[in-house]
Each structure stands twice: as C-alpha cells, then as structure tokens.
Structure 1
Amino acid sequence: MASTAMVQQISVKDLFLKLKAGEPVYLLDVRTPGEHEIAALPGSTLIPLNELVERADEVAPGEGALVVAYCHHGVRSLSAAALLEKLGHERVASLQGGIDAWSIHIDESVPRY
C-alpha cells in the first residue's frame, strides 16, 4: 500500500470555505456505493477505493482543481490520496474526519451512519 505519511489533509471548514469561494475542487468519494447512497457531498464522483487503481483515469479534475478524496472518517481517503499522488496527480488532499466530520461541523442535514 502507498505510504500515507506525506499526504496533505484538508479540514471540513477549509473545504467548505473553498467551495463557498467558488475555488475549483474535485470531490472524490472513495466509499462504497451503499455508503454513497446514504450520504454524499454534492457534486462528488464515486470511485470506491478498491476500484481506484483500475478507474484512476476517470479522476478528471478541471484545470487547477484540488482533488479532495473523502470517505466515512478519513482513513480510506488517506490511502486514496496517496495512491493518486503516486499516479501523478499533484493537487490532492484527504478530507480530515470524512463525511462524518462534514455532517457534524458543516451541514447537519447530511445523514450520519
């Protein structure tokens, strides 16, 4: 598995501010389809972590966009971000605390599970 030691992390607050400011962000949900059905960040692309290697070419952020990988609590997204960096993506971050933290700190209408 790719080392996750140097992966950049972004807080839910910082992500919220980037989205609010209209900065280019590519949201990558690396959870399972079932988890994605329960709760997802608007506009995110679902590619489960276990499919990311085969489907890496589907990760297509716009020019200058920060790729933000997220999962439930921020563990799988660390692996996903490390993998994407290894595959040549330069602007990648893992969402600290995952969608659970987003639900707690940013938007409580996002279901927790």
Structure 2
Amino acid sequence: MSIRQVSASELKTRIENEPHLFLLDVREPNEFEYARIKNSVLIPLNQIPQRLGELNPQQEIVVICHHGVRSQQACMYLSHSGFKNIANLTGGIDAWSCDCDSSVPRY
C-alpha cells in the first residue's frame, strides 16, 4: 500500500487555498510546543488508536512529525483503519522550517 506524499512547499500552497485542511501532528507534546504548523492538531503517535474517534474519515488529513517517519507510520495505521484521504508530509516539520517558514525552530 502506497501512502501519498506531500512536500512542504506543496502543503504551504494547499493550506493557503484550503483553509480547512486537517493537519494532524503525531509528535510528542514537548516537540509540538517547540515547533508546529499553525492550526495543526496534536495527537501523539502512541495515542492514535485510542483517539481515532476524534478524526473524520471523510476529511483529508495531512500527517506531520519531525522528519516524516512517525507520520508515515500513522498514515499506514489510518489507512488500515479505513481512512482513504491521507497524506504524509515528506521531511516533516524540519522540511517545513527549511522550505516554508524559517520562524519555526529546527531541532
């Protein structure tokens, strides 16, 4: 099964044109507090199974982590749970900081 990948610059354009795009951040709370994309929602990777009901399977979800590994795992889990419209932010918040918004701290 192949998960759709979205680059940071593509995501930036999509956010500008689709303000209701759901951004799911699967990092830990301390990482989220340090650096995040505006309007993203934090559900740490290990909490996704218990909090699946908070997500809308009909809505497009872009999943974010530090470099794109945990978010890819989350995408696979969501896909196996029946979510059809999901994408992984390639390079994670680090790519976002480098390519789109240098005010977001790197770590």
| Residue of structure 2 in register with 1:22 after alignment | 18
Local SS of the residue matching 1:27: strand
Correspondence 1:9 to 2:5? yes
| Residue of structure 1 in register with 2:94 after alignment | 100
Greater helix proportion? 2
Local SS of the residue matching 1:72: coil
After TM superposition, the runs of 4+ consecutive aligned structure 1 residues lying more than 3 A away are: none
Correspondence 1:72 to 2:66? yes
Looking at structure 1, the residues matched to 80 and 14 of structure 2 have their Cα atoms a distance apart, in angstroms, of 25
TM-score by length of 1: 0.88
Looking at structure 1, the residues matched to 67 and 26 of structure 2 have their Cα atoms a distance apart, in angstroms, of 11
Looking at structure 2, the residues matched to 80 and 48 of structure 1 have their Cα atoms a distance apart, in angstroms, of 9
Deviation sequence 1:26-82 (CA, Å, 0-9, x none):
000000001000011111110000111111111237x6x420000000000000011
Cα pair 1:28 1:68 within 8 Å, conserved: yes
Alignment of 1:27-66 (within 5 A): 27-60=23-56, 65-66=59-60
2:91 counterpart letter in structure 1: G
Aligned length: 107
Looking at structure 2, the residues matched to 60 and 36 of structure 1 have their Cα atoms a distance apart, in angstroms, of 21
Looking at structure 1, the residues matched to 73 and 100 of structure 2 have their Cα atoms a distance apart, in angstroms, of 24
Q: Which runs of 5+ in 1 are unaligned?
A: none
Query: RMSD between aligned alpha carbons?
Result: 1.4
1:8 counterpart letter in structure 2: R
Q: Which runs of 5+ in 2 are unaligned?
A: none
1:107 counterpart letter in structure 2: D
Looking at structure 2, the residues matched to 23 and 85 of structure 1 have their Cα atoms a distance apart, in angstroms, of 23
